[in-house]
Structure 1
Amino acid sequence: MNDQAEDDDDLEESLKHRERFFELVGRCIVRYQSVEDFLPQVFCAALGGDEERASAIFSVVANRGLDTKIKAISAALFGLDESIVAPWRDLSGRVIAAAEARNEMAHGNSVSAGTTVIITVDKSGKPLRVSSVGKTRTELHKTKGAKKSVWTLEKLVEEEEKIWRLIRNLIAYQKFLRGEKVPPHLLEC
């Protein structure tokens, strides 16, 4: 293989990596919204009784921050048996972690590293060809205070799966609270 063909292959691979990377960023951000959108159903199941009444009560906090929604669900569970409340403590922690991850992705800075771009020009300065040397990797970097987060393609793949598991587990918890049978696939962690 000649140098031009290798450069073209590296560039094509880098572009595919970048496309896959940003596709995953978008999917994680959008899928996270499904988590937050499901919280009213969890609240209704936790409060029990008339669903319309529960929805009306939750609507008071629906446009507030995530912390307020989680506190409302926790309040609806107040005084119930520990076997009912304990799963919510785990789930709410995972919801908060997913929200933090979503915010890091949505507000992070994209960084491409690991390649050099070469622009070949003619005598007049007109570009003849663009090529790259080395493989590029794209990352998202987010610094908040002393904490620096770096999102790689591999980390995004893991995060997307964590969000899917969280959604399934929230659905399972809602069914559990309602006394319904919970399909085993919703319990997989």
Structure 2
Amino acid sequence: MKRITSFVLILLVAAAIVAAQAQPRHSGLASIANVGHGKVQLARSMRLELERAGIAPRARLLAVRGRKSFVRLGGPGNDHCYGVNKKGNGSPFGVTCWNDFPSATHPILDLSTFGADGGGPVHVLDAQGIAADGVASVVFTDAGGAVVGRAPVTANVYAAAGVPVSAVRIVALDAEGRMLFAVPK
């Protein structure tokens, strides 16, 4: 009887180890808790464009950062579109849609702008985007990989004004500081 009990105990410990190793390394990468609050009025032309694309012409405000409004567009079954615009300037939202965001493969939907000044190297001009629940912050790194700036993720949105000119890459981090994703890869 003692042998059977020991054998069962060994099997239970082995099963617990296998189950622990089967858990995903990062959690919260396939969800966005911020479903938006309040409706955002869309221009008639934008509503028509969304309808032509098969997207319900509805927008919900996710967050406002500085002068930018971040929205989630669409309706039940097709709310995988996100947009950003400069608040108060009357311009339409720049919109992008991804079927695999959020996911472990794409935990951030980066809406940043990269460019070059006067023939210099390409760098981050403007950093902003939408992040899955498991993303705690984004950092900006230079060509050598050194961190030159940071932006927190709050309510699934990140934005940074005045990104250092040396920033050439945006890296998403979890709460423990582990890299989840980078733009460019």
Instruction: State if a TM-score over 0.5 links the two structures.
Output: no
More helix by share: 1
TM-score by length of 1: 0.30
TM-score by length of 2: 0.30
More strand by share: 2
Larger radius of gyration: 1
Higher relative CO (Cα under 8 Å, sequence separation at least 6) belongs to 1
